[in-house]
Amino acid sequence: MARRRREKEHGIFRELLGWIVYILIIIGLSYLIITYVGQRTMVSGQSMEPTLSNGDNLIVDKISYRFRDPQRYDIIVFPYKYEEDTYYIKRIIGLPGETVQVIGGYVYINGELMESDIYGAEPMESGQLADQPITLGADEYFVLGDNRNHSSDSRDPSVGVLKRSDLLGRAWVRIYPFDKIGFIRHE
């Protein structure tokens, strides 16, 4: 009888230990995924309207830029340098080595009107820093919000030109609101 009791206690202990190991593995994998693969973020404000709306919840792909360069029109996430735990979501417009300028409310790349830029909701009222040509360095990017007259982006001195190391990742999937769930279109 005592032997059976010890075997039963040993079985319960083994089962409990199995569950603890299982939970620790799940926590470890979750940490690795959040740290190196993806991260949830929420859109705050109207700077990316109509593409993304205030309150949209996104998963950010943090791994693809380890294997490929950011592309024009990618929607990226980067930390705001003056406030901790605050992230901006913008669209890449200017690539390394290019010269970007805003003339008459429109983007010019290397002196030519960027006609493929279909994302700006309306002509920009102000080019701010981009009123003058901005030549991007080897690892620099110029970003704009889609709702350009209501966006703090590379035209604004508080944001400015981004370095590749500033890019947290690429907006990948919208997970909320539920009626808009799906992959984020970048082109």
Nearest Cα residue to 149 out of 114, 87, 101, 106: 106
Tell me the sheet residues that pair with 58: 41, 174
- 87 membership: H or E segment, kind and range: strand 87-94
Q: Which of 44, 62, 81, 90 is catalytic?
A: 90
Q: How far apart are CA 105 and CA 119, in angstroms?
A: 13
Q: Which of 47, 62, 151, 154 is catalytic?
A: 47
Q: How far apart are CA 115 and CA 109, in angstroms?
A: 10
47 is catalytic: yes
**Backbone φ, ψ for residue 143 (5° rounding):** -120, 150
Q: How far apart are CA 60 and CA 47, in angstroms?
A: 18
62 is catalytic: no
Q: Check: CB of residue 72 under 8 Å from CB of residue 93.
A: yes
Catalytic center residues: 47, 90
